[in-house]
Amino acid sequence: MMTLKMINKSILTLMMFLLAANLKSQSKVDVEFNPNIATYSIVEYLVAKHQGRLFYIDGTTDISYLPLADLANREMAKYDNSKIIKAMQDYLQVAGQQQDLTYQVLLKHNIFPAKGYAYQIEENNNAKKEAVEKFAEKLREFYIERNLGKFFKDQSHFLEGAKNEVRKNIPAGYMAKMEQYYGEKFLAYRFWINPLDIMPNIPVFWHGNGPMIKSDKGQIANMISSPYLPLEKKNNIRDYKEFGFNHPETLNFLITHEFGHSFVNQHLGPYEDRINKSSNLMSEALVDKMAMHGYSYWPSCVAEHIVRTGEIRIAMADGNQKLAENLRKQHMNDYSFVLIPEFEKKMEVYENNRKKYQSFKEFVPELLNVLDETSVEKVRTKLGLSNVKYEVTLTVNVPENSGDVYITGNQSSIGNWNPNVIKLNKTGETTRQITFKTYPDLKFKLTKGNWETEGKIDGIEEGKDVSLSLDKNTSLNYTVKNWKQ
């Protein structure tokens, strides 16, 4: 999650970009509201309230500064929501702690209450695809059971007001430079307001996501956006004259960044397996820095690096070196996207060989060589982290008949968070042991081979990692009280 200082720097920097670009294209941006996404956001907050937090959402605070979300929350409080809460928790166990797949699928789904999909779901992982389709159906049923169609219709005054705030602040023709740089254009650009997205109560806040949809006629770039401004509470939802989206600088920043993902992410998807081969750069180096800003999935982190590199290179192509340097410092120093220099060098190859690489898509295989050419040690040095490694001998006491026991964590030596790769040695019926090398910042969990059988460790809050900061070789001893299954 960005701090206010970081947000303001981002706004000022990218506002300079929009003013400097001198764009002439008039690509139309359609501004709409999607009930599927809004239904999902309502459920997100129900889950956050139930477990205290979900993603960036604090489920323990008052949300009256987000009047539509607050109204929906008060309506949902009339019901037993345990069924949909569990459905989402079960889904996230399969899909992981990320929203990208959910947003993509809900945009492709026919508008609730209709069944089926208007566009094909693109997900190579069959388990995730099955899970998200099942969850989407649960959301559709929830939409019907809670009569959310009527609820949204009754709030048309607020929704139209929010859409109009966005429409009046979109700069004309801002997409032209991006289309030129990435070498492609899209059939349409769609901006989806989501006033039910729960963001923190600070002077300016935002959350966005940019799924891409492929249709028979061409590709549709999408942007889903939270409101940006907290609103003063009024007695009635119809009393509002402002709707949380009337902040041109934030809107401009978010549009530039999120539509940038439309040009980038679709071309990284086919290389996800290749990208994940370098996931140790995340687990052993970048993970803590990225988690501060809401990025815990390595392919998403790579996409963020490349999108931000594109912002810099487009500024350079426009002759605005000062802006490029400001973006460079911001993304590297404030957000720790420390591989940007390496990606920039590769993108210069793309820029200087446009006859060979007529589009970004054609250049992606070469660009991803950055991941193969770097190392954990180089990344840790960039982040100011120690490259010293210590030897750890871990002894674990386990219940009888535990069978095979595995360790997994933020080090290559213990499986990089794969729950069934590194097996502990059986030293007795109820004892297991392993010796491994680790960087000082060690995090791990114990399983019986999958996340459904994660160990509940004595002295560690359930679901939390064992988290240590080491300064020497050491021996550790832990006791597993029981397994999830």
What string of pLDDT tens digits covers the 485 residues of the chain? 444 444 444 444 444 444 333 333 335 789 999 999 999 999 999 999 998 888 877 888 899 999 999 999 999 999 999 999 999 999 998 988 778 899 999 999 999 999 999 999 988 899 999 999 999 999 999 999 999 999 999 999 999 999 999 999 886 666 778 888 999 999 999 999 999 999 888 887 888 887 889 888 999 999 999 999 999 999 999 999 999 999 987 787 677 788 888 899 889 999 999 999 999 999 999 988 888 777 888 999 999 999 999 989 988 887 888 888 988 998 999 899 999 999 999 999 999 999 999 999 999 999 999 999 999 999 999 999 999 999 999 999 999 999 999 999 999 999 988 899 999 999 999 999 999 999 999 999 999 999 989 999 999 998 899 999 999 999 999 999 999 87
| Residue 376 Cα to chain centre, angstroms | 22
Tokens standing for residue 482? 């029981």
DSSP count for the chain of H helices, then E strands: 19, 16
Predicted TM-score (pTM) of the model is: 0.68
Q: What is the DSSP letter of 424?
A: P
Give the Cβ contact number of residue 306 at 10 Å. Answer: 27
* Triad 27, 247, 11: Cα angle to 5°: 80
Give the Cβ contact number of residue 273 at 10 Å. Answer: 9
- Distance from C-alpha of 67 to C-alpha of 193, rounded to nearest angstrom: 14
171 preceded by a cis bond (ω within 30 of 0):
no
- Which residues are paired to 187 by β-bridges? none
